[in-house]
């Protein structure tokens, strides 16, 4: 995987006493201590984060935790006091923190586009003129500009609104214009600073869905700031949790939910429904950890020893038993398919949602659920206790 943006030991300090503040950062001082001793405000400290191409990397944390400060270092709207922010530009790495102005201009015009919370549309320009603004500033000719603007407006479903002014559009539509404007630059890296937080919840959910759909097609690298963990878990391929200017944990959504690094993160996830992120893979017991049930490749799927599978040499299931009776095994997706009295054991794929697994357990009198890989080989099992541990986080 190639890194699109690589933050290396980034410190950002607001105020004159940079040197003193950096010395205090090295001693592990908090923002409050640095402010008290130097009068400088710690924006962010010791931030390390690699954002791979095609990732949606979410910076998450309470207000003032330093999310926007770090984000804005990618196009040097904030200048790091120390450290580097490497941005990949046609295969070569540029340190935005220290590059010359011509290189910075090139990066801003062709590599990195930004979408703001308050849309940032110019009221005296029409929708199409707003979308074309970045192109105009970088000297793209009118004919090409028009074509690119038309294409991007179509992508966000706003072709009919090209000649309207911002105030004639709803908040959600204005933010779509903001997205189209960023897309129109064709920059591969998008910085999004709480782009949906000014919108009401329904529109917000809709735009999150639209962004994910667009991302399927466009495969940008997105760094997204949010203070909403539900939003972060939904759209992030990785999430970095920030506290007091420092990144305290980076991980995939399920890592954050299953293995919070400290109490601050635990507090954040305490109100999150784990069913919205966890999959069968996250909660299963590996087949190597299952107990043998006699000879001939039989394995118990559950600790209570109600259900066992006979696994053949290729890793495929050859026979199944439930409570001593021969059973059939079928996919969780077919949970409605048979009358409830047939003895059966359900199986799931690694990416099957935990909710689907639970439904299958419920339908089969809490029988364990097996996990099969794409070649239908048996890889592990999920018992009721695994589900409870994950949901209760114990």
Ligand X SMILES: Nc1ncnc2c1ncn2[C@@H]1O[C@H](COP(=O)(O)OP(=O)(O)OP(=O)(O)O)[C@@H](O)[C@H]1O
Nearer to ligand X, 197 or 353 (CB): 197
Task: Write down the least CB distance from residue 356 to ligand X, Å.
Answer: 35
82-89 sheet: strands from edge to edge: 41-52, 3-14, 82-89, 92-95
Task: Write down the least CB distance from residue 66 to ligand X, Å.
Answer: 4
DSSP codes of every residue in 162-229: TTSBGGGS-HHHHHHHHHHHHHHTT-SEEEEESTTTTS-HHHHHHHHHHHHHHHHHH--EEEEEES-H
Binding flag, residue 160, ligand X (CB under 6 A)? no
Closest CA to 371 of 293, 311, 306: 311
Binding flag, residue 66, ligand X (CB under 6 A)? yes
DSSP label at 353? B
Nearer to ligand X, 41 or 293 (CB): 41
Nearer to ligand X, 61 or 274 (CB): 61
DSSP label at 53? T
Binding flag, residue 264, ligand X (CB under 6 A)? no
Q: Of the candidates 1, 63, 92, 263, which one interacts with ligand X according to CB under 6 A?
A: 63
Distances (CA, A) of 110 to 11, 89, 218: 26, 9, 16
Segment near ligand X (CB under 6 A), from 56-64, 258-266, 344-352, 361-369? 56-64
Distance CA 380, CA 290 (A): 8
Residues whose CB is less than 8 angstroms from the CB of residue 220 and which lie 6 or more positions away in sequence, other chains included:
54, 187, 188, 189, 190
Nearer to ligand X, 229 or 381 (CB): 229
Task: Write down the least CB distance from residue 15 to ligand X, Å.
Answer: 7
Nearer to ligand X, 70 or 173 (CB): 70
Query: How many residues in the shown chain lie near ligand X by CB under 6 A?
Result: 12
Segment near ligand X (CB under 6 A), from 62-70, 130-138, 306-314, 385-393? 62-70
Q: Of the candidates 11, 29, 56, 65, which one interacts with ligand X according to CB under 6 A?
A: 65
Segment near ligand X (CB under 6 A), from 60-68, 119-127, 150-158, 329-337? 60-68
Distance CA 28, CA 22 (A): 10
Nearer to ligand X, 39 or 294 (CB): 39
308, 292 Cβ separation under 8 angstroms: no
Characterize the bridge pairing of strands 189-193 and 221-226.
parallel
Nearer to ligand X, 32 or 137 (CB): 32
Distance CA 54, CA 343 (A): 44
Please tell me whether residue 164 adopts helix, strand or coil conformation.
coil
49, 230 Cβ separation under 8 angstroms: no
Considering only residues 24 through 43, tell me which ones interact with ligand X, judged by CB under 6 A.
Answer: 41, 43
Task: Write down the least CB distance from residue 13 to ligand X, Å.
Answer: 9
Give me the 216-235 binding string for ligand X, x by CB under 6 A, dash otherwise. Answer: -----------x--------
As given in the structure block, the two tokens for residue 122 are 């110019």
Which residues would be at the binding site for ligand X (CB under 6 A)?
Answer: 14, 41, 43, 61, 63-69, 227
């Amino acid at each position: 995987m190639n890194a699109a943006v690589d933050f290396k030991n980034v410190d950002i300090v607001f105020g004159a006493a940079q040197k003193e503040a950096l010395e205090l950062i090295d001693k592990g001082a908090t923002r409050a201590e640095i402010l008290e001793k130097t009068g400088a405000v710690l924006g962010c400290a010791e931030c390390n984060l690699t954002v791979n191409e095609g990732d949606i990397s979410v910076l998450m944390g309470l207000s003032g935790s330093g999310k926007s400060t770090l984000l804005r270092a990618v196009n040097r709207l904030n200048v790091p006091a120390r450290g580097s922010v490497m941005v990949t530009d046609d295969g070569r790495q540029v340190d935005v923190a220290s590059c010359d102005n011509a290189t910075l201009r090139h990066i801003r015009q062709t590599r990195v586009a930004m979408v703001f919370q308050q849309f940032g549309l110019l009221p005296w320009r029409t929708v199409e003129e707003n979308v074309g603004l970045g192109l105009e500033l970088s000297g793209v000719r009118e004919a090409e500009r028009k074509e690119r603007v038309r294409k991007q407006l179509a992508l966000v479903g706003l072709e009919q609104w090209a000649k309207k002014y911002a105030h004639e559009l709803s908040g959600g539509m204005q933010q779509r214009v903001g997205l189209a404007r960023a897309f129109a630059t064709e920059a591969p890296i998008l910085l999004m600073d709480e782009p949906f937080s000014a919108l009401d919840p329904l529109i917000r959910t809709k735009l999150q869905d639209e962004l994910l759909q667009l991302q399927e097609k466009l495969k940008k690298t997105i760094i997204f700031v949010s203070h909403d963990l539900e939003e972060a878990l939904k759209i992030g391929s990785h999430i970095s949790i920030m506290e007091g200017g420092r990144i305290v944990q980076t991980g995939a959504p399920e890592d954050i939910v299953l293995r919070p690094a400290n109490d601050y993160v635990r507090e954040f996830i305490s109100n999150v429904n784990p069913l919205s992120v966890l999959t069968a893979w996250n909660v299963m017991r590996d087949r190597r950890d299952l107990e043998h049930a006699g000879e001939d490749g039989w394995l118990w799927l559950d600790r209570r020893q109600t259900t066992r599978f006979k696994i053949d040499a290729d890793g495929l299931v050859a026979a199944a038993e439930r409570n001593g009776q021969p059973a059939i095994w079928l996919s969780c997706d077919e949970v409605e398919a048979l009358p409830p009295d047939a003895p059966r054991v359900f199986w799931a794929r690694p990416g099957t949602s935990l909710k689907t697994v639970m439904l299958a357990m419920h339908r089969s009198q809490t029988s364990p659920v097996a996990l099969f890989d794409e070649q239908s080989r048996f890889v592990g099992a999920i018992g009721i206790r695994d589900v409870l541990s994950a949901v209760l986080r114990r």
